[in-house]
């Protein structure tokens, strides 16, 4: 079945550091790959979405790219700020949006 794996549980960076969070996925369909951000005390918010049609997405300084060859997609930001401290979830939605799979989440702490 479809699945998504997010191995980095916690990441601690200093301001202006480079952020890279990786997810791998398994699917037999043409998935949509998403990144959600969840700030403390809030619900998850859609940050970026990439599909097989557009293998890259950019929003709020974050960039998501996916590599069909390695079935991986990652989230990166050139220079993180303290306000980026949050939990980041990768997710996979199958072609018909019938099934939605979240990764386990990466808790990012940015130290000023």
Q: Which residues bind other proteins (CB under 8 A)?
A: 34, 41-46, 49, 89, 96-98, 100, 102-105, 107
Closer residue to other proteins, CB minimum distance, 77 or 88: 88
Closer residue to other proteins, CB minimum distance, 47 or 80: 47
- Residue 64 pairs with which residues in a beta bridge? 57, 75
Closest approach of Cβ 42 to other proteins, in Å? 6
Closer residue to other proteins, CB minimum distance, 2 or 17: 2
Structure tokens at 4: 């998504």
For residue 72, give the nearest of 94, 50, 46, 96 by alpha carbon.
50
Cα distance between residue 104 and residue 54, in whole Å: 25
Closest approach of Cβ 58 to other proteins, in Å? 17
Closest approach of Cβ 79 to other proteins, in Å? 27
- Residue 84: phi, psi to the nearest 5? -85, -5
């Amino acid at each position: 079945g479809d699945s998504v794996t997010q191995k980095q549980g916690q990441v601690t960076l200093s301001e202006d550091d480079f952020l890279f969070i990786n997810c791998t996925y398994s699917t037999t369909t043409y998935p949509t790959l998403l990144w959600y951000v969840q700030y403390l005390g809030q619900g998850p918010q859609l940050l970026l979405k990439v599909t097989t049609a557009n293998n890259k997405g950019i929003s709020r300084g974050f960039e998501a790219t996916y590599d069909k060859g390695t079935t991986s997609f990652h989230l990166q930001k050139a220079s993180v700020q303290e306000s980026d401290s949050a939990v980041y979830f990768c997710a996979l939605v199958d072609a018909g949006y019938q099934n939605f799979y979240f990764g386990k989440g990466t808790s990012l702490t940015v130290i000023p």
